[in-house]
Structure 1
Amino acid sequence: MAGTLTHGEQLLKINGAELCVETFGDRADPAILLVAGSAASMLWWDAELCERIAAADRYVIRYDHRDTGRSTGYPPGEPAYSFTDLTLDVLGIQDALGIERAHVVCQSMFGRTGLILGVDHPERVASLTFMSGSTGADDLPPPSSDLTMPAEPDTSDAAAVVEYVVAGARAYAGGSPYFDETAIRALVERDVARARSYASTLVNHYAIELDGPARGGFGDIAAPTLVVHGDHDPVLPLPHGEALRDAIPGAQLLVLEGAGHDLPEPVWEDFVSALVRHTERDRA
């Protein structure tokens, strides 16, 4: 099952890796490239959400990071890449799809990809959106004291892995009234089933080199920037999003009321509306 592509998916050889990519909408429209968070395949950008964005005249791209989904995997604990490599993957996807400049949306830990793109490759970025991100400053609040993560599972037991990931998603939702365990469980079951190695998915992104841009920091980002943050986020409480907004010249902040460290369906309308405004054609 993990080796079978669904309709619309394609495997592209990029930057020394094989990446699974799926697109939605008309390639003539402004491109929005969705970069999922750590240990998250493209499935965590829900297909219905992608369709909603595409319906607003946007060309939407989602993909599996290395060590997620159907993309190239490495042995658990031995990722042979850095954040610079992952950033070059994004540029390689743009090249393969004929996209000179993309509106890039980066989630959580993978905001570092957006940072490197915005600082070191500004000519390839039409705009940036950071979702559930942070500057990483030492004076920002720690994760919520209520955040309790489950014990790591036996990765040879698929059912135990599913329970572990569902429990983690529940914790990351931060008590959000929008957490839908039935929907999350269905997503996780699909995610585990289609992955080349979910054992690698669970650990490898946390073992990669956390390198950054060569030419500066958040204050050097010139691209129009939107920061999106849930007010229930227990991992990176809201002050992290506020600090990120303040660190990037001209950045705007959208607070998703009732959302945690995720993007639950009840806030999609607010997110899509803000993203469409942020990616108007005259910015491309």
Structure 2
Amino acid sequence: MTLMARANGIDIAYDPIGDPQDRPLLLIMGLGSQLVHWDDEFCELLSRRGHHVVRFDNRDVGLSTHFRKAGVPDLTPGAAAPYLLSDMAGDAAGLMDALGWPAAHVVGISMGGMIAQALAIGHPGRVLTLTSIMSTPSPEAGPPTPEAMAALFGPPAADRQGAIERALEVWSVIGSPGYPLDRERVARLAGLAFDRDHDPAGTTRQLAAILASGDRSEGLAGVRVPTLVVHGEADPLVQVSGGRATAAAIPGARLMTFEGMGHDLPRPLWEPVMNAITDLQARSAAAAAG
């Protein structure tokens, strides 16, 4: 059930899952991806573990506000961006305000991990635990391989079938080589995302925000909440050095890497990742009690 909230001066589409009395868990999705890319079953499994899960569309994707008047930004080094990752972190904090959440456990994937990092830096009291998955503190850490860059910057789809075919091409390059690609799932989600919204320029504006936001390592050194960093050892889009740099930047962070995992979260890895998130929250509860 998708709802709308006014937050940080924009409209944000979000989807709550589970009992509102349970532990608040905010899921932040990655570049060009919508809330539907958080798998329904993944969210349901988290809710069964005692979480009130909220997934949402970042600005410039899905049903949230798009900055179309900003056009297509310049991606050359040093160019200005329509907004920064800190603004997107402000969106997440504003959504938490709208939900009545003083703080939440925060899980971000890829660009969503960068936003989660920015949230922990800029709004430290709002983050109970931080989980950064297949992400990086800087565009310079864990840079994409040439093959991943070519897949990412391929021509945008012109229609629904083209969006499905492009998604299959991209995930065949950046997905997990150690696990079979679920082509049916990729195709279904690509079609669903196209039906909800199709704005390739919005993805470019998000990418501009990543490039213009620079290095968060110094800010992450001040993060004091229990932190989990998850990364695939075979990730070609954000190479594992990006995850290692994230974990090195945050005092006490736990680094969990998986052989054969690329730039996605295969179904067989859900349980160990969810177990690690639950353990992280136990550390948070113990720290609060002690």
- Measured against the shorter chain, the TM-score band is 0.7 to 0.9
Change over 3 Å in CA distance of 1:141–1:190 after alignment to 2: closer
> Aligned equivalents of 1:115 and 1:243: distance in 2?
13
Gaps of 5+ in 2: 74-80
> 2:128 pairs with 88, 111, 126, which one?
126
* 1:224-272 Cα shifts (integer Å, max 9, x gaps): 1000111221122222212221221000012233321111212111111
> Aligned equivalents of 2:201 and 2:139: distance in 1?
29
> Aligned equivalents of 1:137 and 1:146: distance in 2?
17
Q: Which amino acid aligns with 1:264?
A: P
Aligned pairs for 1:28-177 within 5 A: 28-75=21-68, 76-77=71-72, 80-136=82-138, 138=140, 140=141, 142-144=143-145, 146-147=147-148, 148-149=150-151, 152-153=154-155, 155-177=157-179
Identify the structure with the greater helix proportion.
2
Aligned pairs for 1:108-257 within 5 A: 108-136=110-138, 138=140, 140=141, 142-144=143-145, 146-147=147-148, 148-149=150-151, 152-153=154-155, 155-195=157-197, 197-208=198-209, 210-211=212-213, 216-257=218-259
Deviates more, 1:83-92 or 1:128-137: 128-137
1:178/1:259 contact within 8 Å kept: no
Name the structure 2 match of 1:271: 273
1:120/1:215 contact within 8 Å kept: no
1:227/1:252 contact within 8 Å kept: yes
**1:199 CA drift (Å):** 2.8
Q: Which amino acid aligns with 1:183?
A: R
Name the structure 2 match of 1:13: 6
> Aligned equivalents of 1:279 and 1:14: distance in 2?
26
* 1:69-105 Cα shifts (integer Å, max 9, x gaps): 1111122526743222211110111111111111111
Identity of aligned residues (%): 30
1:35/1:110 contact within 8 Å kept: yes
Q: TM-score, normalising length from structure 1?
A: 0.87
1:64/1:70 contact within 8 Å kept: yes
SS in 2 for 1:33: strand
Change over 3 Å in CA distance of 1:30–1:151 after alignment to 2: closer
2:18/2:44 contact within 8 Å kept: yes
Q: TM-score, normalising length from structure 2?
A: 0.86
1:19/1:71 contact within 8 Å kept: yes
**1:201 CA drift (Å):** 3.9
1:230/1:260 contact within 8 Å kept: yes
Gaps of 5+ in 1: 1-7
> Aligned equivalents of 1:34 and 1:141: distance in 2?
22
> Aligned equivalents of 1:123 and 1:200: distance in 2?
33
> Aligned equivalents of 2:203 and 2:137: distance in 1?
24
Q: Which amino acid aligns with 1:37?
A: G
SS in 2 for 1:220: coil
Task: Provide the aligned length of Structure 1 versus Structure 2.
Answer: 275
* 1:140-190 Cα shifts (integer Å, max 9, x gaps): 554345535176335433322221222112211152423211211111111
Name the structure 2 match of 1:22: 15
1:118/1:128 contact within 8 Å kept: yes
Q: Which amino acid aligns with 1:235?
A: L
